[in-house]
Structure 1
Amino acid sequence: MKKKILAYVKDNRLFVGIISVLLVIFCLFLWLTCGAGNSMEAETSYTDISALSTSSSQKSSKALSERPAQSKTEATDTPREQVTVDVKGAVTKPGVYTLKASSRVTDAIKAAGGMTEDADAKSVNLAASLSDEEVIYVASKDENVSVVGQSDSGAASDKGGKTSQKDGKINLNTATSEELQTISGIGAKRAEDIIAYRESHGGFQSVDDLKNVSGIGDKTLEKIRESIYVA
């Protein structure tokens, strides 16, 4: 059999040569085609993965940059849940108390142990809403201070019933800067100094404490003594 094949090839060299060349060309074509396809597919896959990775990174960076801004906005929009008030005067336990924002003056007084026996319930508006950093002052009966009909008596007080004037006198512990400036000889700068001293020392204990304020001496105090009081 082998001899017959060799004899056939020998007799048909030209034909066999052409067939061999064609087979080589065909194999080379298949190799080039398959190799180039796999290479292009690999390159395409790599490109898609890179693009996907870049897109994911950009989205993550954008989300991280926007998150603090959203948190800040939410914190700004969040309403205050608590208020801190200073309860003074004729109460069992004067002091600073933190209550719910929806609390009333009556709740602040209850937190301070309630009114004492000599407290004047008419000196405060128990139904008034509380505001942060507010001072609630409960007067005693001998102070003769009342929020009832105060528009007729000419007394000035805020919603918590903290009276700033009585019988034409200014309360050093509750008066505003504008009210202090109505006192003869007290200008804007001196009024601010009085308020600063009041806040840093927890209020005035007596009218004489006013001499501790810069710029106010014995002569000035004697001149304005009849215009002021402490409660």
Structure 2
Amino acid sequence: GADLLALNMAARVADGDQIVVGVVPPEAAPPVSSTTSGIGTSADGSGGVPAGVGGSTTGGTVDLNAATVAELDALPGVGPVTATSIVSWRETNGRFATVDQLSEVDGIGPGRLAKIRDLVHVG
């Protein structure tokens, strides 16, 4: 019964790290998986700030036109390569006009788009 969509299966873990996997309450934003190690901690000490903490969110969703690679990487089903592809698409083509334009990004097919559609917006 656990929601595994928010679990980053590619995250590096160290001995002693705790990974919390649980059931998401109805109508709640998906949890951001995290570890307690210093691996991946940024120079500013933010430690890979999860989506919803930066300035590019509205109502718990990530703004495709302002999100950083780290914020996009925190989305379920989006890893660092896909997050970088989203930012590269934005730099090459300009702002996203609709969420559906994510289908034009390399690595985002119909299934992945369906998983993240309700977690992103165009600001």
Which of 54, 61, 75 lines up with 1:156 in the alignment?
54
**Bigger share in strand:** 1
How far does the alpha carbon of each residue in 1:91-119 deviate from its partner, in whole angstroms, 9 at most, with x for none?
Answer: xxxxxxxxxxxxxxxxxxxxxxxxxxxxx
How far does the alpha carbon of each residue in 1:51-98 deviate from its partner, in whole angstroms, 9 at most, with x for none?
Answer: xxxxxxxxxxxxxxxxxxxxxxxxxxxxxxxxxxxxxxxxxxxxxxxx
* Residue correspondences, number: 72
Give, in angstroms, the shift of residue 156 of structure 1: 2.6
Q: Give the match for residue 87 of structure 2.
A: 195
* Higher RCO, 1 vs 2 (CA within 8 Å, ≥6 residues apart): 2
8 Å Cα contact 1:207/1:228 also seen in 2: yes
Runs of 4+ residues deviating >6 angstroms = none
* Identity value in percent: 40
* 3-state DSSP of counterpart to 1:193: helix
**Bigger share in helix:** 1
How far does the alpha carbon of each residue in 1:189-225 deviate from its partner, in whole angstroms, 9 at most, with x for none?
Answer: 1100000000111111100000000110111111111
Q: Which consecutive unaligned segments of at least 5 residues does structure 1 have?
A: 1-153, 158-163
Q: Which of the pair has more CA radius of gyration?
A: 1
Q: Which consecutive unaligned segments of at least 5 residues does structure 2 have?
A: 1-51
Which of 32, 46, 71 lines up with 1:179 in the alignment?
71
Q: Give the match for residue 208 of structure 1.
A: 100
Give the root-mean-square deviation of aligned CA atoms: 1.2
Summarize the alignment of residues 64-143 of structure 1 with structure 2, pairs less than 5 Å apart. Answer: none
CA distance in 2 between counterparts of 1:185 and 1:201 reads 23
* 3-state DSSP of counterpart to 1:204: coil
